[in-house]
Structures are given as C-alpha cells and as structure tokens.
Chain A
Amino acid sequence: MSSETYLEPAGPTSHSAAERLQVAGLYSPSDAVLSVRDLHVRFNSENGVVHAVRGVDFDLMPGKTLGIVGESGSGKSVTSLAIMGLLPPTAEIAGSVRLMGRELLGLNDKAMCAYRGNDIAMVFQDPLSSLTPVFTVGAQITEALTIHNPTMSKQAKEARAVELLAMVGIPSPKDRLKAFPHEFSGGMRQRVMIAIAIANNPRVLIADEPTTALDVTIQAQVLEVLQAAQEETGAAVVMITHDLGVVAGIADDIMVMYAGKPVETGQVDDIYYDPRMPYTMGLLGAVPRVDVAEKTSLVPIDGIPPNLIYTPTGCSFAPRCPLVSDACRAGEPELLPAGGKAGHKAACIKSDALGGDADVLEIFSAPPVPLSRFDAIPRGERATVLELKDVRKHFPLTKGALLKRRIGTVKAVDGLSFDIREGECFSIVGESGSGKTTTLLEIMEFHKDQDGEVVIGGLSNKEATTGKVRSAMRRELQMVFQDPTGALDPRFTVYEVLAEPLQNAGLGNRAIKKRIMELMKLVGLQPDHVNRFPNQFSGGQRQRVGIARALAVNPKLVVLDEPVSALDVSVQAGVINLLDQLRAELGLSYLMVAHDLSVVRHISNRVAVMYLGKIVEIGEVDRVFDNPRHPYTRALLSAIPVPDPQLERTRERIILKGDLPSPLDAPKGCNFATRCPVFEALPAAKQEKCLTLEPPLEFVPASSAAQALEAGRLPSLDQQFACFFPDGELDEDMLVVHETAEPHAP
C-alpha cells in the first residue's frame, strides 16, 4: 500500500504513479496524518455532565488502518464525530486533533467544511438513511466534487463520478448515475457512500460501523471495496466497530475503548494474541468462533459499563473485572507499555501478570459446558417436537392502482420440510430475504388453511380447528424476539409481562407469583426487580425477561428470532450461555433464526441454509460448517470474519456478486445460479443443467475414503444439499485472497 499524500484536492484526471510520488515528496510519509491528543468530550444531560470521551490519544500513519473497538457507549463514535467536528455545539470538546499538522479543534463549522469531505471523510453506519432520497446518486457524488473543486467542469465531474462508481464496484456506472438511492440495495448504497467519501482523495477516512447494518455476504463485499478504496487513495482509515472479527483482517493497529478511555492499544497481533487487559480478554472470549468446532462456554462479562456522569475513582472496569483487587479501586490506571512489544499499551495494573498463557475462561469463571440429558440419546430415538412438511408461502405481486394485475409471485417459502427433535437446537441461516422470518411466521401463525403441514408436539395444523387444540399447540411453542425492547409492552412491569402467559394458561394468582419468582431466578435476574418497567433494564436483561416469558408455560420448543443480534458482544455471551444452559437443564428444543453464523455454530446441533425460500443445505452443524457442499454455504462461511488476524489475512474469501435476485426474475432452475461461483466457472453444457433443472435436496454421498473408514455404519450422513456440481471449480473472479498463503478449502 502506498503512503502518498495530496496537499491539493486531486483533479478528475487519472493520476500516474509518478505523479503521486511527486506529490508525496512534499510531505514526509513518516509523520502521522491524523494525531489526536488527550481528547475529552463532555455532554450536558438532564442528570448531569456526561464525560463521554476521557482522554483519547492516537497517531494515524498514512495508509494505515486503525481499528477502534468497544461496546456501545464506550465513546468510539463520539470520538470520530469530534474529529469530524460533527458534534452538536452543546458538546464540550477539549484536547487536540491535528490533521497533517493543522489543528482542527476550535475551528468553526465553516472552516471545518474545507476539510470535511476533502482531507477527511466519513462513511456512516446506516446506508439507508445517509443518502438523500430526493436526489440521484450522481447528483450526490457530484455535489461532493463541486464543493471542494469549484472550478471543475461539468463533464469532468461526471467522468469522475463514473470512475468512482466503477471503483466501488457498481455495474454499469454510467447508467446508475441517474438512479435514485431507493433503486439501490443496502450494500450498493454503502458503496455509493464510500464513493462519495473517497471522491476527493481524502487523507483520512473514518468508517463508523460501515457494515453493521448489512448481511454477511454484503459485508464481505463492502469491506473489500473499502480496502480497494484505501489502496486506490492511500488514505489512512479509522475503522470503528464492535465486531472484533471485522477489524482482525484489515486493521494494522487496534485501540480498545471502555468507558470513554482507551484501555489497550497496540498492533493487531499483540491485541489478539497477547491481550494484557482483562476487558480485551473478555471481549475476545465473548465472541463465538465460526471456524472452531470444539465446544467451550463463552466468556460472559458481568455488569454494565459505568455511568459516565460520575467520574470513576478507580479503574473503570473494576466493577466488572474478575481480577479486581483493592489496588484497582485506588486510582484509574494509566495506559502504560505492556507485553514488551513496541506500541502495545494497556491500562491495567496487572497487565504483566496477564501473560499469553492466561486462560480467559478461567479468569472470567465461564460456566462449564452444560450437558443435556438428551445428548446421550441418538437423534433418531428422540421424540419430534416440530415437523414441517412441504410448507409454502407465496405472495402475489400486483401492479396497478385500480385494476390489480398479477405480475409475479414472491416465493417467500417454497416447499420447506424439516423436523426438530427433543433437546435439539435447529438453526436456519441465510441472507435477509431468504425466507427465514417468513418460515418462523408460518410456524407461529399456524392455521388449517396453510399450504403444507406444521406438526407441533404431535398435533397438526390441519386439526387446529377448535380453540382447544390451538391453545394446546400454542403451549408447546413460544417465541423470543429479536428486539428485546419492542417485544416487551412498555406499560407492563416485568411482573405483568411474565404473568400474562400464566394468566392465559389459567393459573391462580398465588401460583403465578410463585412461578414468576422461579422464572426470574432461572434466567438470572434479581427477583425484586419484578416491579420495574422494561426501560429500567439493560438490553441483556430485557432479553432475559423475554426468555423468561417464553419459558413461563413450560414449552417444549422455543423459537428464537435473532435472539442476540441486538445485544452488545459482552452481554451477548451471557445470553448465549443462558440459552445453552436452559436447553440442557429443561430439555428444551430451539428453532433459531440468525444471520450470525458464529452464534449458530456455537449453540446449534443442526443447521439449515436457506436461499430464496428453499433449503439449499441442511445437516449437523459441524458437518455443514466443516465440510460445506453447496457453493452458497461455502460463500456464506467464507464471508464471516474471524477474530484471528493471521487467519483472517490469509483466508480465501468467496465474494458473491451482487445481491439476492429480485423475486420477479428468479431463475428457473437453480435459484443460486445467478450468483454462483461454481456456475460461473462451468462449461456451457453444464450451465444449461443448472439453468433448467432444479437441484433436489440430496444426501451427501460418502466419499470412498470415508466409506472405507465408516464401513458398516449408516449409509448416509446427516447432511443434505441441493447442488448438481458441489465439487466444481470456483470462479476466480469471485475469489479473494489477500496474502499469499497455502490455498485451503473454506
């Protein structure tokens, strides 16, 4: 990666390498492009002054990437906004922010405008709301160019806009200039945002959770674009994220923030392989790994971050730290060199004791892996709690206001069959739009006129004609929602929330009270919190209330709709452990829908991969994840970032082209053909087969070696997939490997 610099805004003309070097000579590459010193941000709130950022220092070298990691509320976004000068005027900012030697703090809005979008640019989290809906994409890119290059001609600007869109990988960029933001998908809009950000070749690019709102496959695409853009412009990147996996592969340095302060900084490898601060260790241990089959509990970090209205007297992490001693509470530790590596600093008085061999699980006293009584029984002998037989849900797509013409069908769920046995966790994964949620709704809203059969606890939806049968089925089946805040009636106290299903089941008041106390203990909440309203709890606690409500009537099957995606990493670990433990203790079965494959791998026994309403691969979780057969599964798995920098840098990635096809032009044969990396590489004759025939879901034929090994065992393994050419070569255009490494199958 080059480390050149432009002092002048670059023109629209293409730059030769020599030209860049010449410009770079004006500015010493060893200096930091952005240096932040002792940055403090305070906000006034009703309850007092919130000290949101408390002394952030960093130097950003040209062409380097700094990852800022932390939970929500740790001050990472506020730091970036303070650098950009985008905080409201009520915020009190102190310290120093120097961009190429020039002080930015204290500049008024007008003066900042000369830098913003020119030398320093930002990519925001939510691509859906960061583009103006009433202007075309081209107009918005041109606007960024016009402001900083008033003399640029109209043709030049248009040419540059086309060049930018092509750079971020938008097909037929010239035509797309005239498109409006709503004509783009989320991933495409984020690309446009990146294009706008790099329009003037910024020296610093700040990306605030740029991929959080996107699907994994799209996340992989966008990260790729971001890296390409960085290479193209030589900008230094500040990457803000809560996902340790995302930054592992692309960051050079990492800064871990907690309670408004950096608690550990260093090179990426030092942070991941030799963390010296308990918080960092906890964060790393709290993330489930998609690439590890061995089952360990996750590291839960108890408690919540401190309220920054009160100045911490000791180490801000002390109340949650398992290694806390009196010395920790005596004063806030400084960020001091730790671990012996250059640049590695940690704010912990015990950092020297926390060598590389310290066991995170032990330190945080992670609970042992719970064992279910069902684990010992072979799957085939366990009772079935839920069975779906050929369930379909098609929505007609109509057009016209007065006379509605049917112009197509959205096959949201198209012939789904699977079963869930007792004590088992079954997960459905796939991109958004693949029909996961519709499947859940079909199960939850079972009725007799459904297309297909839903059997819950031995009762079929076809028999659910009387209220009695329906409520018997309902009692077997409960749901935990994605957003814990929305799923709890804000006007109900926790007691009322938990009492509702019990009252509905016809329990008496005394029995309800007793059961609620049991439930509170079961999910790890203090029983005296029953009188609180949901808004007095943290997100993780709210989700626990949601789980308690689902468990109130002792269901056999709990449907989990993205149960942890709305939670912070450290809290997420606690909830996942709880789910795991409940499954073992109560013999529950789970049906989980999730887009986070790491979480799926951690808690599921079986998994189904869905694509456009169909299951493309289904089977035991370790088999599917370790030996994926369908190209889509392979792509999904390779797109998941892993919190392991070395692995992440050398990993082979399948970057799928484009987004889910619109249901209108859904392919006739294999649904996945339009994006399939195998299909791309196939000879035309074989492609014909993919395009015309629909591949059925078939068992994995045991390979000859495996057959020899497992002679005499069951003929088929618990893995089915729907692809004609699972062993086909992958198209090279869709493969991305960042550093040369031994090629290995994902």
Chain B
Amino acid sequence: MTNLNAVDPAAVAQDAHLESADAVIGKSTIIFRRFMRNKTAVAGLAIFLGLTIFSFIGGYFTPWDKETIDPFNIGMPPSGEHFLGTSQAGIDLYAMTVEGTRISILIGLIVGLVSVLVAAVYGCTMAYFGGKVDKVMLFVLEALIMMPALLVVAVATSGGGEGLKNNLPSWLLLIIVLLVFSWMGTARLIRSLSMSLMQRDFVKAAQYMGVPPRRIVWRHLVPNIGSLLVLDITRGVTGAILAEVAFSFIGIGIKVPDVSLGVLIGGATSQVQTFPWMFWVPLTVMFLLTGSLAMMNDGLRDAFDPSSSSVGKAKKKSAKNSVKEPAK
C-alpha cells in the first residue's frame, strides 16, 4: 500500500500515457486470453468447431445423399465409393452421419441457448420482484418439474398432435418439447443465486449510488451469475444432445426420414456384431461432440472466474514488485 502522501514516483511518471486510452484493457480481452491459456479447452473448442463445419460442408465431398439408395452396395463396409460404408437399406453412411451431426448440433445449440436464456429471465424476474410474483412463478416451475417429460415427448412426437406433425419437421418438434422441459433446474438455481447477490454489499452500493434497477440487474447480477450461465449453456447443449440421442434411440424422438445421431445409433445397435461400422461411427461422433463441450466447459469457467489462478504473464511481473496477495 502506498502512503497517502507519497504516490509512487514511477506511477506519477506513467500518468501521461495512462491518460490516453491504451492502459485500459477490456474485460473481454482478458477473458479471451484466459480461455486461450487453457490448452484442453482450446482443443475442445477446435473439435467442436471442426464437427460443426464438417456437418455443414461435409455433404459436398460425396456424391451420395441421405435418401439415395445404392442397390449394389447394401450393408457394405467402408470402401472408396462409400467412405463409411452403407446401411442395410443401402444408404451412404457418410452422408447420413453428416446430416445426423448437423441435426444433433442444431438441436443441442438451440435447446442449450434458449433454455438458459429463458431460465435467466425467469429466474432473475422471480428474484428481483419477490413476494407474490415469486410464489406464482415458483409454482409453475415446480409443476413443470413434476411433469413426466418422457411421456409428453412420446405423445407429442408420435401419438397426438397430428396437425403439428404434418406442419413441422420432427426435429423442430423435438426442440420445442425439449425446451419446455429443460430450463427449470437452471431457473431455480439462478433465482437463488440472484437472491443472494441482491444482499451483497456491492449491489447495495450501486443502489445507494442511485443506479437504476434494470442496470443493477444487467451490470451486477447477470455478470456475477454469468459464469454459471455460460457453464449452463455448454452443459445444456450436452444435455440436449444426449436427450435427443436417448429419445431417438428408443424411437420417440427424431423419426425417419429425418436423421440424427440417435437414430443412427439406435438403428445399428442390433447389428453391432455384423455391421460394426454402422454403430461405431455415429457413436464416435457423439462422443467427440459431448467430450469437446465438456473440455470447453472447464476452460470457460476458468476464464470467467475472477478468483481463478489464471494470471497473465505481464500481470505477474508487475504484481511481483508491487502487490500480490499471498497464496491461499
């Protein structure tokens, strides 16, 4: 700590250039740097991006598509003509994997992002207003938690809702159903977190400074649950992909002719012994997808967490000759 009379002379000398803008590093830069320092997370991000790109442009590398049947190659192992072999129906497995990956990623991303968004808005609203609003909203939330999701999915995608089914592709229907049942846990977590944040001194400080409530929520509450939100997005994406796979596997999710990883895995389980490629290829893709997300998750948390040990090199140097808290 510097004496109150004597500001460090070196600091005074630095004033000139400090008054120009370059001294102030944006927080997004800091977070980005921290994320990039975590090798596992960067690898995860690379795998995830690679899979996403593959799912969109992979189709151009093969003349086959997911509907064309090759009557001369039925249930064939990988070959020059069919990179990953063909299914029992004679459809190119490579084309189907590309298509399935895209659908799975799409479902995962949409469900993950939107459900966290819904949860954040719902949770913060509950916490901010409190009282009766909180009670009613909490009741709705609890009611949804208690509803058997599996049954509703089954009914929505197969039995009931004929009109819906005719107008919507099955993957969109699945997204909607998954969305309805995926945000409650996060919302409840966010509610309790924001409630405890409302009690913190820095929120009080902002209130006493006359900062308007909306800005307090946006600047103090959301960033402080921000790392949780980011974590929940990646977790939600993983969860949604797994749910899609599970539902499709038992036959109530995506329906043929739509393809997804779950449909592919589900279709191939009975013939693992005879046609192993049909089972292992989509399974590997799914593992890569969820695994890369898990790897990213860790790095993101590190980057957002201010108490993390990820300290910049430049910072370390300056910290050494002035102030650094002793390690805990």
Q: How far is the CA of A50 from the CA of B315 in the complex (A)?
A: 21
Known contacts A470-B210, A490-B306; is A300 also within 8 Å of B201 by CB?
no
Chain B, residue nearest A522 (CB): B4
Across the interface, A367 reaches (CB within 8 A) one of B1, B4, B8, namely B4
A483 with B211: CB separation less than 8 A: no
B219 with A500: CB separation less than 8 A: yes
B18 with A527: CB separation less than 8 A: yes
The stretch among A270-278, A536-544, A729-737 that forms the contact with chain B is: A536-544
Question: Which residues of B sit under 8 angstroms from A45, Cβ to Cβ?
Answer: 327-328
Asked if B140 is at the interface (CB within 8 A of a chain A CB), the reply is: no
Closest chain-A Cβ to B204's Cβ sits at a distance in Å of 8
The stretch among B19-27, B55-63, B271-279, B291-299 that forms the contact with chain A is: B19-27
Known contacts A46-B327, A50-B327; is A474 also within 8 Å of B205 by CB?
no
Interface centre among B18, B207, B209 (most CB of A within 10 A): B209
Question: Which residues of B sit under 8 angstroms from A470, Cβ to Cβ?
Answer: 210
Asked if B166 is at the interface (CB within 8 A of a chain A CB), the reply is: no
Question: Which residues of A sit under 8 angstroms from B205, Cβ to Cβ?
Answer: 479, 481, 487, 546, 549
The stretch among A145-153, A154-162, A571-579, A700-708 that forms the contact with chain B is: A571-579
Interface string of B1-36 (1 = CB under 8 A from A): 111110110010011001101011101000000000
Closest chain-A Cβ to B217's Cβ sits at a distance in Å of 13
A541 with B11: CB separation less than 8 A: no
Asked if B307 is at the interface (CB within 8 A of a chain A CB), the reply is: yes
B327 with A47: CB separation less than 8 A: yes
Asked if B226 is at the interface (CB within 8 A of a chain A CB), the reply is: yes
B325 with A538: CB separation less than 8 A: yes
A471 with B4: CB separation less than 8 A: no
Chain B, residue nearest A479 (CB): B208
Asked if A231 is at the interface (CB within 8 A of a chain B CB), the reply is: no
Question: Which residues of A sit under 8 angstroms from B250, Cβ to Cβ?
Answer: none
Question: Which residues of B sit under 8 angstroms from A553, Cβ to Cβ?
Answer: 209
Closest chain-A Cβ to B2's Cβ sits at a distance in Å of 5
Asked if A304 is at the interface (CB within 8 A of a chain B CB), the reply is: yes
Q: How far is the CA of A479 from the CA of B203 in the complex (A)?
A: 12
Q: How far is the CA of A529 from the CA of B10 in the complex (A)?
A: 12
Question: Which residues of A sit under 8 angstroms from B215, Cβ to Cβ?
Answer: 504
Chain B, residue nearest A570 (CB): B1
Interface string of B64-106 (1 = CB under 8 A from A): 0000000000000000000000000000000000000000000
Interface string of B289-328 (1 = CB under 8 A from A): 0000000000000000011010000010011001111111
B208 with A46: CB separation less than 8 A: no
Asked if B202 is at the interface (CB within 8 A of a chain A CB), the reply is: yes
Closest chain-A Cβ to B137's Cβ sits at a distance in Å of 22
Asked if B220 is at the interface (CB within 8 A of a chain A CB), the reply is: yes
Question: Which residues of A sit under 8 angstroms from B117, Cβ to Cβ?
Answer: none
Known contacts A307-B324, A533-B306, A536-B323; is A500 also within 8 Å of B209 by CB?
yes
Asked if A213 is at the interface (CB within 8 A of a chain B CB), the reply is: no
A489 with B8: CB separation less than 8 A: no
Q: Total A-B pairs in contact (CB under 8 Å)?
A: 147
Question: Which residues of A sit under 8 angstroms from B328, Cβ to Cβ?
Answer: 45
Interface string of A466-509 (1 = CB under 8 A from B): 00001100110111011100111111110110001100100000
Known contacts A46-B327, A304-B323; is A490 also within 8 Å of B307 by CB?
yes
Interface centre among A303, A307, A482, A536 (most CB of B within 10 A): A536
A501 with B7: CB separation less than 8 A: no
Asked if B206 is at the interface (CB within 8 A of a chain A CB), the reply is: yes
Contacting B at CB under 8 A, from A282-301, are 300
B206 with A531: CB separation less than 8 A: no
Q: How far is the CA of A525 from the CA of B324 in the complex (A)?
A: 14
Q: How far is the CA of A48 from the CA of B287 in the complex (A)?
A: 38
A578 with B326: CB separation less than 8 A: no
Q: How far is the CA of A302 from the CA of B1 in the complex (A)?
A: 6
B326 with A309: CB separation less than 8 A: yes
Asked if B223 is at the interface (CB within 8 A of a chain A CB), the reply is: yes
Q: How far is the CA of A738 from the CA of B27 in the complex (A)?
A: 60
Q: How far is the CA of A478 from the CA of B220 in the complex (A)?
A: 18
Known contacts A474-B210, A513-B21; is A308 also within 8 Å of B326 by CB?
yes
Q: How far is the CA of A536 from the CA of B27 in the complex (A)?
A: 15
Across the interface, B306 reaches (CB within 8 A) one of A308, A495, A535, namely A535
The number of chain B residues touching the other chain, given as a range, is 35 or more
Across the interface, A487 reaches (CB within 8 A) one of B11, B24, B201, B325, namely B201
Q: How far is the CA of A220 from the CA of B55 in the complex (A)?
A: 74
Q: How far is the CA of A470 from the CA of B208 in the complex (A)?
A: 11
Known contacts A526-B2, A528-B14, A538-B1; is A474 also within 8 Å of B208 by CB?
yes
Asked if B224 is at the interface (CB within 8 A of a chain A CB), the reply is: yes
B323 with A537: CB separation less than 8 A: yes
Asked if B200 is at the interface (CB within 8 A of a chain A CB), the reply is: yes
Q: How far is the CA of A486 from the CA of B322 in the complex (A)?
A: 23
A491 with B208: CB separation less than 8 A: no
Asked if A668 is at the interface (CB within 8 A of a chain B CB), the reply is: no
Question: Which residues of A sit under 8 angstroms from B326, Cβ to Cβ?
Answer: 50, 73, 305, 307-309
Question: Which residues of A sit under 8 angstroms from B4, Cβ to Cβ?
Answer: 300, 367, 523-524, 574, 577-578, 581
Q: How far is the CA of A524 from the CA of B322 in the complex (A)?
A: 14
The number of chain A residues touching the other chain, given as a range, is 35 or more
Asked if A681 is at the interface (CB within 8 A of a chain B CB), the reply is: no
Closest chain-B Cβ to A553's Cβ sits at a distance in Å of 8
Question: Which residues of B sit under 8 angstroms from A481, Cβ to Cβ?
Answer: 201, 204-205
Contacting B at CB under 8 A, from A6-45, are 45
A495 with B24: CB separation less than 8 A: yes
Question: Which residues of B sit under 8 angstroms from A538, Cβ to Cβ?
Answer: 1, 323, 325
Question: Which residues of B sit under 8 angstroms from A581, Cβ to Cβ?
Answer: 4
Interface string of A104-139 (1 = CB under 8 A from B): 000000000000000000000000000000000000
Q: How far is the CA of A470 from the CA of B210 in the complex (A)?
A: 8
Interface centre among A486, A514, A540, A541 (most CB of B within 10 A): A486
B306 with A531: CB separation less than 8 A: no
Q: How far is the CA of A477 from the CA of B207 in the complex (A)?
A: 12
B323 with A500: CB separation less than 8 A: no
Known contacts A483-B201, A490-B307; is A526 also within 8 Å of B322 by CB?
yes
Q: How far is the CA of A300 from the CA of B6 in the complex (A)?
A: 12
Known contacts A489-B220, A574-B4; is A526 also within 8 Å of B206 by CB?
no
Closest chain-B Cβ to A311's Cβ sits at a distance in Å of 14
Contacting B at CB under 8 A, from A358-373, are 367
Question: Which residues of B sit under 8 angstroms from A488, Cβ to Cβ?
Answer: 202
Chain A, residue nearest B197 (CB): A489
B224 with A541: CB separation less than 8 A: no
Asked if A167 is at the interface (CB within 8 A of a chain B CB), the reply is: no
Closest chain-A Cβ to B50's Cβ sits at a distance in Å of 32
Across the interface, B5 reaches (CB within 8 A) one of A367, A471, A482, A530, namely A367
Interface string of B210-229 (1 = CB under 8 A from A): 11000100011001101000
Question: Which residues of B sit under 8 angstroms from A521, Cβ to Cβ?
Answer: 7
Asked if A87 is at the interface (CB within 8 A of a chain B CB), the reply is: no
A504 with B211: CB separation less than 8 A: yes
Interface string of A533-566 (1 = CB under 8 A from B): 1011110110010100100010000000000000
**Interface positions of B (Cβ within 8 A of A):** 1-5, 7-8, 11, 14-15, 18-19, 21, 23-25, 27, 200-202, 204-211, 215, 219-220, 223-224, 226, 306-307, 309, 315, 318-319, 322-328
Q: Could you list 15 A-B pairs, sorted by A, with CB under 8 Å?
A: A45-B328, A50-B327, A308-B326, A367-B4, A481-B205, A487-B204, A491-B306, A493-B27, A495-B24, A526-B7, A526-B8, A536-B324, A537-B325, A538-B325, A553-B209
Which 10 A-B pairs give the minimum distances between C-beta atoms? A474-B210, A524-B4, A487-B201, A526-B11, A486-B201, A47-B327, A489-B202, A45-B327, A501-B209, A481-B201
**Interface positions of A (Cβ within 8 A of B):** 45-48, 50, 73, 300, 302-305, 307-309, 367, 444-445, 470-471, 474-475, 477-479, 481-483, 486-493, 495-496, 500-501, 504, 513-514, 517, 521, 523-533, 535-538, 540-541, 544, 546, 549, 553, 571, 574, 577-578, 581
14 additional A-B pairs beyond A527-B14, A533-B306, A536-B319, beta carbons within 8 Å, are: A47-B327, A48-B327, A308-B326, A444-B204, A478-B208, A479-B205, A489-B220, A489-B223, A491-B226, A493-B27, A532-B315, A536-B315, A538-B325, A544-B1
